[in-house]
Structure 1
């Protein structure tokens, strides 16, 4: 039996993207063990994994902060006697740990982040609009370098079954024959957020459908305030923000008929439970390799503009000053894409 350590500290969406790869590895190599080293807050992602997957949670702001904390972390990891280390992050902390472990005779491999190709994709002039390898492929390549080729055949963290939502019925009610739509309207960067007045129109249009219930997802005081306002303004709309833990959000998402998100963490979280996810892309582009797991290109909504994409993560200010990439997407376009998916399920 071999013991492999896989390192990915942040962000939540990137940690979520490791799951299809780790799960596929675990199922194809049941004789080996793989441990994921990540932020403690992401532990719920790994609670439903195969038995040969374990989670090692760290706190990089407190216990494992700074040089001293990193040295303590290395000493603790060394005691586990890993045979190989897969660096899914390739940042200072993961490089340091890999360097120390390599000196101790442990085989290591690092992710190729495809910096050159992605820079050509987002530059202002002479863009090279070519689809880059997905993060899933890049994570799998790290394991292949270590001697463990993986076929990515992950379906859902819940396997073929859906988890019971009885404990959430006071919030959700009975599903019955209703169509359940999830909407996560926020993202960390302005270049990724569909304008809220347009998003509200989407909710208004969908809330008028017969036998339809809409669940809003978000977090933080400002987001919760917006979602609560929409909940009270429109029928058949329920805000889950601040009411569910991450593991319960995953369970609820698995019962949705479709989820609407930005290019955000919720896109990746929802993709882990085998439901169709309609995603809106503005400043960013799925060609960078960050689309949700196993999502159809037909579920992606984006405007065809020569300036897109202008950044990998939506952090750069709009060169046009008008965010046309988001403004040109109409609420009717979004609703039509969602209804097409729901109608196929009838």
Structure 2
């Protein structure tokens, strides 16, 4: 395929999946500096791309002017004015498939990600399970660009640089020389969320040492309520949820010494900056291809597969079979604390 000059990249959601595009786009920027990239994504995610000089963010207003078939046609007309040479669809969902149909008449190359749905289905199957590592999402993204004529070397690509904290952010996180530990205790689905009581014990024990500043990450109202309680109960804990915007939240993440997260978006945000990231896994598994970019293989704690042999039961953590709702209790707070010390030292 003839190499192109301006590629439209489609990746609308979710946060973790969008974050996983960053190392790939960094590799493109480094290995093909002449190439122009426009990424179609949610406006909220724009700060993630601030360090990418060759990337422009096109905002998809899928709940407003780009909603439905008519809205997507309107979006298609807007995109055509960008003089795109090719489209890399890293999402491959209904919306992007509709856009693909609209673009057919323009004969612009439109390459879609192979999500490996069949092999992922086999990985989580109850019977005839094929328990083997699948290609990473990062590699699946890279394959799309390879098909467009841009093979990528992800092994040696750079990561994002540390970002500076604004004055209001410094007031939120405070000053001092303690080691910064980020903790993001939530996930979209309960199947991949560490028990809150167990995570609070981790926070409590870290707090007792008086050696760490514990920065708490979350989003929704219930999450903020839990994190506010922890901030109140533990002197070294700081809840940043809802106190700063995403760009400054990313700046804080870039300054961490370690991030503790689930198989979720915050793990991928930390990995963008090369922050050592400890991930805790429930009914999902790294074999599905969502392990944070370039993290050491042992920077993860997995639920006990001998006790729960059907793991992984789900790709996204939304399918928890009967008897599997306590898989993460096989990861004790002591194990988490020991792994934190191991990674830090």
- TM norm structure 2: 0.95
Indicate conservation of the 8 Å contact 1:191/1:318, yes or no.
no
Equivalence for 1:12: 15
Indicate conservation of the 8 Å contact 1:308/1:325, yes or no.
no
Equivalence for 2:36: 33
Partner SS, residue 182 of structure 1: strand
Counting only pairs closer than 5 Å after superposition, residues 71-220 of structure 1 correspond to structure 2 as: 71-152=73-154, 153-158=156-161, 162-167=162-167, 168-176=169-177, 178-220=178-220
Indicate conservation of the 8 Å contact 2:189/2:318, yes or no.
yes
CA–CA separation in structure 2 for the residues paired with 1:271 and 1:329 = 22
- Rate the CA distance shift 1:166–1:77 in 2: closer, same or farther, 3 A: closer
Counting only pairs closer than 5 Å after superposition, residues 284-295 of structure 1 correspond to structure 2 as: 284-295=284-295
CA–CA separation in structure 2 for the residues paired with 1:30 and 1:309 = 40
State the 1:17 CA deviation: 0.7
CA–CA separation in structure 2 for the residues paired with 1:7 and 1:150 = 18
CA–CA separation in structure 1 for the residues paired with 2:64 and 2:106 = 26
State the 1:155 CA deviation: 3.4
Partner SS, residue 139 of structure 1: helix
CA–CA separation in structure 1 for the residues paired with 2:164 and 2:8 = 32
State the 1:166 CA deviation: 4.9
CA–CA separation in structure 1 for the residues paired with 2:115 and 2:27 = 21
CA–CA separation in structure 2 for the residues paired with 1:271 and 1:14 = 12
> Cα deviation per residue 1:185-242 (whole Å; 9 max; x = unaligned)?
0001010110111011010111111321101000111000000111111121111111
> Cα deviation per residue 1:66-92 (whole Å; 9 max; x = unaligned)?
111000000011111111111111112
Partner SS, residue 55 of structure 1: strand
CA–CA separation in structure 1 for the residues paired with 2:297 and 2:243 = 32
Aligned residues: 337
Single out whichever of 206-215 and 224-233 deviates more from structure 2.
206-215
Gaps of 5+ in 1: none
CA–CA separation in structure 2 for the residues paired with 1:41 and 1:166 = 19
> Cα deviation per residue 1:229-283 (whole Å; 9 max; x = unaligned)?
1111112111111111111111111111111001111111111111101010001
> Cα deviation per residue 1:109-164 (whole Å; 9 max; x = unaligned)?
11111111111110112211110000100000001101111111333222xxx222
Indicate the RMSD between aligned Cα atoms, in angstroms: 1.3
Q: Paired residue for 1:311, among 309, 314, 317?
A: 314
CA–CA separation in structure 1 for the residues paired with 2:300 and 2:68 = 40
Counting only pairs closer than 5 Å after superposition, residues 245-264 of structure 1 correspond to structure 2 as: 245-264=245-264
CA–CA separation in structure 1 for the residues paired with 2:218 and 2:159 = 22
- TM norm structure 1: 0.94
CA–CA separation in structure 1 for the residues paired with 2:240 and 2:15 = 19
- Does the alignment pair 1:242 with 2:242? yes
CA–CA separation in structure 2 for the residues paired with 1:164 and 1:74 = 37
Gaps of 5+ in 2: none
Indicate conservation of the 8 Å contact 2:276/2:295, yes or no.
yes
Indicate conservation of the 8 Å contact 1:250/1:273, yes or no.
no
Indicate conservation of the 8 Å contact 1:155/1:273, yes or no.
no
Indicate conservation of the 8 Å contact 2:27/2:158, yes or no.
no
Indicate conservation of the 8 Å contact 1:259/1:276, yes or no.
yes
4+ runs of 1 displaced by more than 6 Å?
A: none
Indicate conservation of the 8 Å contact 2:73/2:102, yes or no.
no
